[in-house]
């Protein structure tokens, strides 16, 4: 018997967690935060460091309590697809009770270690596995990592091999033909899976409503080169903000800084954490290319230097969503020793995540910047998520017997099964909508 449990990520964008059962053995795929709840939390302490019961209470983590009560002892391993917090950040809080190893790519493991150290949680055994390798869970379950491009490095598609068929779990991905650091998606391996026979595809539906393909990360480099001649004046400060986990984007901005003869300065704890993790596994060496600064005293010391020679620097910092404690937001509130002046430029190398709290926070940040006379350039960005035509290509690459969308609310899941219907799938028979807490048995 093959059974899929939708624990989290099937009723919203975030707190992803799926389980796959073959007979009496289970593996868990992803275990992340609901970032919207993190951002809306108003307690005195960091939401991520809350006790586990509070994490459940505020809906920050997947509610796996009933699943654990019924099946916890059957779980043989936990796998994570990549290092975004909505896919791995709940592992330090929830994984220990399952008493099984956690397997992820080296970069993701380093990020999980850092998250665990901040919670002061003891982790189960962590196993690093690179894309292209297979982990033998048991004689009946083998788990394969397949390289795919996304907006953070070392992202994988997970293929679960069982005697009843292959389950492909592709939760956060895009097809990028010209990535900045990594290789293209391993199309050859996906085609081989098709020949073996894929029983089900579980796939991200975050951008399923975008009637397009997602553009390459290399497109962002061209965007910057088009924008900078108009904003890179001799006396004004340049600030760029992007997602802390987007190592390829940070690499692009560092290359741009060199091209325009500005010294790059990277500010922010989360950005520093992701960079340190990437450096530890030898993927990048940003410390040789830029100052990487964290901690209020250190940031203020550097900002005093920047204030005296504004034309010499390009700041890369956190705060693209208007997060209250991020560097850019705090700069806008005059909490650091840096004076924003009229004609300074802030480039948002990001899109606003479409949730009410994000939209409100970002609008407030932009209002504060505009009140200071700062020039704002938005949407210098391409998504890390597959557009509708990429999703169609994935279906055609794998030809799964069953299609199951995830990582979205009901509207996005419905859009996914609508796409599947265009490819010959029938709702309730070969395409399926699940909600958190539901499960489905798949027939071979």
Q: Would you state the pLDDT for residue 44?
A: 59
Mapped onto helix, strand or coil, the DSSP state of residue 28 is strand
Question: What tokens were used for 367?
Answer: 């209002």
Per-residue pLDDT tens digits of the chain, which is 444 residues long: 899 999 999 999 999 999 999 999 999 999 999 998 887 776 656 788 899 999 999 999 999 999 999 999 999 999 999 999 999 999 999 999 999 999 999 999 999 999 998 888 778 899 999 999 999 999 999 999 999 999 999 999 999 999 999 999 999 999 999 999 999 999 999 999 999 999 999 999 999 999 999 999 999 999 998 988 777 677 899 999 999 999 999 999 999 999 999 999 999 999 999 999 999 999 999 999 999 998 889 999 999 999 988 889 999 999 999 988 899 999 999 999 898 999 999 999 998 877 788 889 999 999 999 999 999 999 999 999 999 999 999 999 999 999 999 999 999 999 999 999 999 999 999 999 999 999 999 987
Alpha-carbon span 370 to 375, nearest angstrom: 7
Question: What tokens were used for 170?
Answer: 């592709």
Alpha-carbon span 136 to 341, nearest angstrom: 58
Radius of gyration in angstroms for the set of CA atoms belonging to the chain, rounded to a whole number: 22
168 and 61 share one domain: yes
- The count of domains in the chain is 2
Bridge partners of 402, per DSSP, are 200
Q: Cα–Cα distances in Å, from 10 out to 17, 138, 253? A: 9, 28, 34
Residue 390's φ and ψ, nearest 5 degrees, are -65, -40
176 and 238 share one domain: no
Alpha-carbon span 71 to 4, nearest angstrom: 13
209 and 222 share one domain: no
Alpha-carbon span 177 to 158, nearest angstrom: 20
281 and 230 share one domain: yes
Q: In the chain, what is the straight-line distance between the N-terminal and C-terminal CA atoms, in Å?
A: 9
226 and 79 share one domain: no
Alpha-carbon span 23 to 349, nearest angstrom: 46
CB of 87 within 8 A of CB of 81?
yes
Nearest to 72 by CA among 103, 97, 89, 102: 97
| pTM score | 0.95
371 and 393 share one domain: no
Nearest to 109 by CA among 244, 59, 317, 95: 95
CB of 358 within 8 A of CB of 352?
yes
118 and 171 share one domain: yes
CATH of the domain at 97: 3.60.15.10
Alpha-carbon span 332 to 334, nearest angstrom: 5
Q: Domain range spanning residue 84?
A: 2-213+384-442
Nearest to 176 by CA among 395, 358, 385: 385
Name the domain boundary from 343, 360, 377. Answer: 377
Name the domain boundary from 356, 377, 398. Answer: 377
Name the domain boundary from 377, 397, 425. Answer: 377
337 and 365 share one domain: yes
Q: Cα–Cα distances in Å, from 298 out to 108, 302, 428, 440? A: 27, 6, 57, 52
C-alpha atoms less than 13 angstroms from C-alpha of 6 in its C-beta half-sphere: 25
392 and 318 share one domain: no
Q: Which helix (H) or strand (E) holds 167?
A: strand 165-170
Nearest to 22 by CA among 405, 430, 442: 442
313 and 281 share one domain: yes
Non-local (6+) Cβ contacts of 421 within 8 A are 427, 431
C-alpha atoms less than 13 angstroms from C-alpha of 209 in its C-beta half-sphere: 11
Length of the chain: 444
CATH of the domain at 285: 3.40.50.10710
Q: Would you state the pLDDT for residue 388?
A: 97
Nearest to 381 by CA among 259, 255, 246: 246
Bridge partners of 316, per DSSP, are 240, 266
Residue 239's φ and ψ, nearest 5 degrees, are -125, 135
373 and 388 share one domain: no
328 and 394 share one domain: no
The 8-class DSSP code of residue 344 comes to -
Burial of 222 (0-12, 13-18, 19+ CB in 10 A): exposed
């Amino acid at each position: 018997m093959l059974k899929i449990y939708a624990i989290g990520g099937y009723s919203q964008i975030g707190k992803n967690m799926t389980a796959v059962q073959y007979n009496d053995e289970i593996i868990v795929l992803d275990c992340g935060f609901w970032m919207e709840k993190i951002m809306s939390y108003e307690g005195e302490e960091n939401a991520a460091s809350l006790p586990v019961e509070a994490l459940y209470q505020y809906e920050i983590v997947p509610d796996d309590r009933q699943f654990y009560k019924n099946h916890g002892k059957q779980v043989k391993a936990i796998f994570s697809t990549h290092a975004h917090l909505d896919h791995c950040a709940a592992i330090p809080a929830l994984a220990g009770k399952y008493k099984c190893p956690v397997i992820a790519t080296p970069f993701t493991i380093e990020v999980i270690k850092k998250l665990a150290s901040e919670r002061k949680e003891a982790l189960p055994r962590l196993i690093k596995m690179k894309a292209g390798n297979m982990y033998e869970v048991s004689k009946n379950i083998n788990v394969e990592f397949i390289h795919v491009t996304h907006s953070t490095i070392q992202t994988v598609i997970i293929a679960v091999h069982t005697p009843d068929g292959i389950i492909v779990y592709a939760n956060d991905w895009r097809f990028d033909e010209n990535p900045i650091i990594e290789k293209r998606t391993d199309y050859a391996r996906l085609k081989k899976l098709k020949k073996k026979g894929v029983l089900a595809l579980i796939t991200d539906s975050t951008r399923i409503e975008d009637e397009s393909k997602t553009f390459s990360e290399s497109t962002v480099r061209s965007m910057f080169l088009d924008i900078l001649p108009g904003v890179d004046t001799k006396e004004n400060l340049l600030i760029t903000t992007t997602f802390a986990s987007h190592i390829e984007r940070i690499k692009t901005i560092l290359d741009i800084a060199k091209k325009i003869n500005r010294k790059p300065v990277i500010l922010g704890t989360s950005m520093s954490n992701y960079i340190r993790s990437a450096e530890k596994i030898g993927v990048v060496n940003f410390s040789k290319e830029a100052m990487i600064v964290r901690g209020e005293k250190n940031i203020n010391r550097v900002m005093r230097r920047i204030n005296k020679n504004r034309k010499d620097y390009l700041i890369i910092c956190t705060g693209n969503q208007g997060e209250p404690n991020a560097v850019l937001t705090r700069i806008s509130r005059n909490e650091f020793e840096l004076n924003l002046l009229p004609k300074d430029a802030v480039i948002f190398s990001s899109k606003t995540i479409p949730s009410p709290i994000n939209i409100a926070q970002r609008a407030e940040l932009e209002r504060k910047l505009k009140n200071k006379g700062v020039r704002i350039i938005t949407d210098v960005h391409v998504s890390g998520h597959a557009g509708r035509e990429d999703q169609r290509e994935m279906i055609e690459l794998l030809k799964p017997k069953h299609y199951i969308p995830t990582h979205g609310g009901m509207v996005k899941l419905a859009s996914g099964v609508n796409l599947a219907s265009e490819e010959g799938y029938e709702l309730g028979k070969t395409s399926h909508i699940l909600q958190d807490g539901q499960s489905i048995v798949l027939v071979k």
